[in-house]
Amino acid sequence: MSVPEPSAEGLGLAKEARSLMSGGELDKAIVLLGRALREQDSFELRITLCEAYLRKKEAGEKVMGRLAQVEFEKTLDLAPADAEAHKNLVGIGVRLGAADKLLELYKTKWTGLPFAADQKKMLAVAITPPDRSFQAGKVRGKGTKKLLYLVVIGGLILILAIGIWLAKQGQKMEIPSQKAQSVEERSAADSQ
């Protein structure tokens, strides 16, 4: 299947849409890309539209995730043999949860691309779940929580003990203002 070459106008519209997206004007970018796609179908326009839908989904509009998925599926048939285009494709595919599908394409349909091996490595990393056994609440989580509680309680007891000790020390020591007042009272009593 031959991939349609993007026209200068199509590339310009995709660039304009990315500029709108950078400014937070996702709706305007989506309308612009929709109009452009009626005139010409291209990878650049579709991947940019997919990105716009994905950003709206990530902003809380869940229904946009389905639209992003539809556009992503369409881009797979239009993907040119260009490393930069495939980096964009992989980035969006991972965010959409389609890393498994892309990995399969790089093992079959796109295996001859010069950058296919690198893309397969990136996708394998994206698919492999991270080792989270070191995080609190997992393997050692309960012990960690108990230790934290003991440290907090121990600290509170220490603060309370220091406060009591200081209070007792304050009772044993005469406060200078009280001492001055006592001397004045004694002087007044002696003079009477």
Characterise 97 by phi-psi region: left (phi > 0), alpha (psi -120 to 50), beta (else): left
Q: Count CB atoms within 10 A of the CB of residue 18.
A: 16
Euclidean distance between CA atoms 6 and 141, whole angstroms: 54
Which amino acid, residue 26?
L
Q: What is the mean pLDDT of each run of 10 residues along the chain (192 residues)?
A: 62 88 93 91 91 93 91 88 87 90 90 88 81 52 72 85 80 57 63 65
Q: What per-residue confidence (pLDDT) applies to 191?
A: 66
SS3 per residue for 26-62: HHHHHHHHHHHHHHCCCHHHHHHHHHHHHHHHHCCCC
